[in-house]
Structure 1
C-alpha cells in the first residue's frame, strides 16, 4: 500500500507538471507551433496550417483531459466516496482517448521523420484504444483487478508525448543524431517503453491474484 501511495504521488506530480507545460507551451508560449514545425522537412504533402493548428489544439486539450481524468480514477478516495463519479469520469477518459487518437490520425501523415514516424503513430493509434476498450470490457464483466491492470496499461500512453521528447533529446544531445532520426527513434522507443513499464508496475507494486 505504501508503494502504491508513492506511485500515485509521483503520477500526480508528473501529470500536473506536464498538463501545465503542455497548456502553456501550446496555447500561450508558441501557439503557432513554430519551433515544432521547423523540424518538419521534406513533407510529401503541404501542411494546411490553420487546420493543422486547430486539430493540434483539440489534440492537446483532450490529451490533458485524458491525463487528468485518468489520474482521478486512480484515487482510492474518489472511488470509495462515489462509484458513480468514478464511472462517469471513466467514460470521460475513454472519450478523451478516442479524440486524441482521431486527431493524432489526422496529424500522423505530417509527422516529423516522415513515413516511418507516421507508421509508428498509426501503430500507437491502434494500440491505445484497444487497450482502453479492453479495460472497459473487463469492468463491464465485473473483473475489478483486470480492469485496474488494463487501465494502468492504458494510462501509461498518456505520457507518450513526454516519452517521445525525452528519448528524442537523449539521442539528439547524447548520441549526436539528427533531430528527425532521433524523433523517429523516440516514437518507437516510447511505444516499447510504455508497454514495458506498466507490466513492471503490475507485477511488482500491484501484484495480486486476478479474479
Structure 2
C-alpha cells in the first residue's frame, strides 16, 4: 500500500509540473509555437498555421485533462466514496484520449521528421484508444483487476509528449544528434519504454492474487 501511495504522489507531482509547463509554454511563452515549428523541414503539404495552432491548443488542453482525470480515477478514496463520479470521470478520460488522438491524427502529417514520425504517431493514435476500449470492456464484464491493468497501460501514454521531448533533448543537446533525427528516434523509444514501465508498475503494485471486486 505504501508503494502505491508513494507512486501516486510522484505521479501527481510530475503531472502537475507537466500541466503547468505545457500551459505556460504553449499559451503564454510561445503561443505561435515558433520554436517547435522552426524544426519542421521539407513538409510535403503546406501548413495552414491558424488551423494547425487551434488544433494544437485543443490537443494540449485535452492532454492536460487526461492527466487530471486519469490521476483522479486512480484514487482509491474516490472509488470508495463516490463510485458514480469515478465512472463519469472515467468517461471524461476516454473522451479526452479520443480528442488527443484525433488532434494528433490531424497534426501527424506535419510531424517533425516526416513520414517516419507520422507513422509512429498514428500507431499511438490507434494503440491508446484501443487500450481504453479494453478497459471499458473489462469493467463491463466486472473484471476489475483487468480494468486496472488496462488503465495503467493507458495512463502511461499520457506522458508520451514529455518523454519524447526529454529523450530529444538528451540526444540533441547531450550527444549532438541532429534535432530531427533525435525527435524521430524519441517517438519510437517512447512507444517502447512507456508500455514497459506500465508493466513494471502493474507487477510491482498489483498483487497477483488480487481478485476482481464485483461491481454493483
Q: Same fold (TM over 0.5)?
A: yes
**Count of residues in Structure 1 that have an aligned counterpart in Structure 2:** 211
Alignment of 1:27-176 (within 5 A): 27-176=27-176
SS in 2 for 1:44: coil
Q: Kindly state the Cα deviation for residue 77 of structure 1 after the two structures are TM-superposed.
A: 1.0
Structure 2 length as normaliser, TM-score? 0.96
4+ runs deviating over 6 angstroms: none
Deviations 1:161-184 (A, max 9, x none): 001001111111222110000000
Q: Kindly state the Cα deviation for residue 97 of structure 1 after the two structures are TM-superposed.
A: 0.2
Structure 1 length as normaliser, TM-score? 0.98
Kindly report the root-mean-square deviation, in angstroms, between the aligned alpha carbons of the 2 structures.
0.8
Deviations 1:64-83 (A, max 9, x none): 00110011000111111100
Q: Specify the alignment match of 2:201 in structure 1.
A: 201
Report which stretch shifted further, 67-76 or 169-178.
169-178
Q: Kindly state the Cα deviation for residue 207 of structure 1 after the two structures are TM-superposed.
A: 3.0
Alignment of 1:17-36 (within 5 A): 17-36=17-36
Q: Kindly state the Cα deviation for residue 205 of structure 1 after the two structures are TM-superposed.
A: 2.0
Give the Cα separation in 1 of the matches to 2:207 and 2:132.
20
Report which stretch shifted further, 167-176 or 4-13.
167-176
Q: Kindly state the Cα deviation for residue 208 of structure 1 after the two structures are TM-superposed.
A: 2.4
Give the Cα separation in 2 of the matches to 1:29 and 1:2.
38
Deviations 1:104-154 (A, max 9, x none): 000000000111000000111111000111011100111111101110000
Gaps of 5+ in 2: none
SS in 2 for 1:204: helix
